[in-house]
Amino acid sequence: MTQIQPVVLCGGSGTRLWPLSRKTLPKQFVPLVGNKSLLLLTLERLRRLSKDVMCVASEEHRFLVQEGIDAAQVSGKQLLEPVARNTAAAMAATALLTDPERLLLFAPADHHIPDADRFVATILKGVPAALAGHLVTFGIEPTFPSTAYGYIRQGDKLDATLGDDAGHAVAAFIEKPVAARAEQLLLEGGHLWNAGILLVQAKVLIAALQEHASDILDACKLATASVDVDGDFLRMDSAAFGRCRSQSIDYAVLEKCARVAVIPFDGRWSDVGSWNAVADLHETDANGNRISGHGFAMNATNTFIHAPGRPVVALGTKDLLVVDTPDALLVVHSDCAEQVKDVVALLSTHGHSQATRHRRIPRPWGAYDSIDDGERFAVKRLTVKPGARLALRMHHHRAEHWVVVKGAARVICDEKAQLVKENESIYIPVGAVYRLENAGKTTLEVIEVQTGGYLGDDDIVRLDDLASAGEKRFA
């Protein structure tokens, strides 16, 4: 079988699934299906094609991607984008760093495709056309007249020498239509939803970029001319990549190129692009209600409840989406699900951090959860992975009190080491140089109480960044 290099595109800001998905934790990293993230499900699906999976991700999300890679039991590099420049630049940079003959399968990280076997079989149908110099896309057989997706119009079948299932030439790409136009496309037949998945040889993609988007290719050539290798992280030249034009591969290349093919996929697919789409992933009860977590629907109809933490009760509701998180609650009529992104803009305008940040913030060493804060104090819950440690640091304006509630901590404070076990505590005075390490083989849990006149993150002075290959810049 021809070796395919899967490439997962991990970008996205995640505003349409607020409050669960936010800038610091977009939807592809959020456990949405069976307590697994869409990224993890994508990596598991692509593992059937190859256990060597390349990911294109932002610097900010690199450790979240690495967690997914580890959980999926795959290997591969991460190409880190210093700034977001859409799919054309991400694909161009990947192709430039790959063997020109290699088949690349570009797949978004945030799609839900439960029938992995059918997905793999469909991808393999595209290999002959891709090796013959086509850019092969994959379209979803539409099940309703959606206005949320772009469409692909199928043209003539490809040459019979490529096989009976090699697909059709693309006659046209159609922008997201209005409702009447979507109904017309569905009635006409021969139209597919654009899934945003592309199979192409690296050299073919480079040639197409040279012809139709040479400025993007040139910028990416400069950005990839000198790559900084940090373990499995590949960093491009920030300034050169930043000068690249931001455009999707559809606009930059596919809509202009004559050798684009499409293969239909008739399995279940969702881009999980709204809370209605998330609701559709759950089974309904007799009244059309869908429940995730600790939700309860009483005398309710067509109500979706996402309640991963505390109990949430919907009484007498109809056609509502209720999404609960520790620091924000969304209640929206199902007809208005596409307007959730406007809520994020409203909250940002009013200065609410919940618009972009979660209470729980993942870190390479674990995570911290901001439990409470007020004038001159803040309370956090730290979880530190086995074998992990925080960077050596100090504070000018605050002291910290730590209580170990689970596991064992090794604390270095002003060059003095101390083992702190469960139900024990330690005090870190203002100005002390300290480090926290997990001294055990299980997750360490610590309650941290900060006190002082200023508690901002910029009061953290990191004295090293552990930039060794094995520790990959813990912060």
Give the end of a domain, one of 304, 319, 349: 349
Q: Is residue 242 part of a domain?
A: yes
Q: What is the pLDDT of residue 1?
A: 53
Instruction: Choose among 218, 282, 228, 281: nearest CA to 467.
Output: 228
Domain stop point among 314, 349, 384: 349
Averaged pLDDT for residues 51-67? 92
> Which stretch of DSSP H or E encloses residue 69?
helix 62-72
Range of the domain at 324: 275-349
Place of tokens 């009635």: 187
pLDDT digits over 362-411, tens only?
Answer: 888 998 999 988 899 999 999 999 999 998 999 999 999 999 999 999 99
Average pLDDT over residues 20-39: 88
**Considering 265, 283, 309, which residue would you say is the last residue of a domain?**
265
Same domain, 261 and 280: no
pLDDT above 90 coverage of the chain, percent: 78
DSSP structure class, residue 48: T
Q: How far is CA 124 from CA 91, 165, 186, 263, 291, in A?
A: 20, 10, 27, 10, 36
Q: Which of 175-179, 199-203, 330-334, 466-470 has the lowest mean pLDDT?
A: 466-470
Taking each helix axis as running N to C, give the angle between helix 214-224 and helix 202-212, from 0 to 180 degrees, rounded to the nearest 10: 130
pLDDT the model gives residue 472: 37
Residues 189 and 323 in one domain: no
- Residues 271, 193, 120, 262, Cα dihedral to 10°: -150
Q: Looking at the 3D structure of the chain, how many domains does it have? A: 3
According to the model, what pLDDT value does residue 229 have? Answer: 92
Query: 79 and 108 share a domain?
Result: yes
* Weakest mean pLDDT among 23-32, 64-73, 277-286, 433-442: 23-32
Q: Residue 467: its pLDDT value, please?
A: 37
**Residue 421 maps to a domain:** yes
In-domain check, residue 339: yes
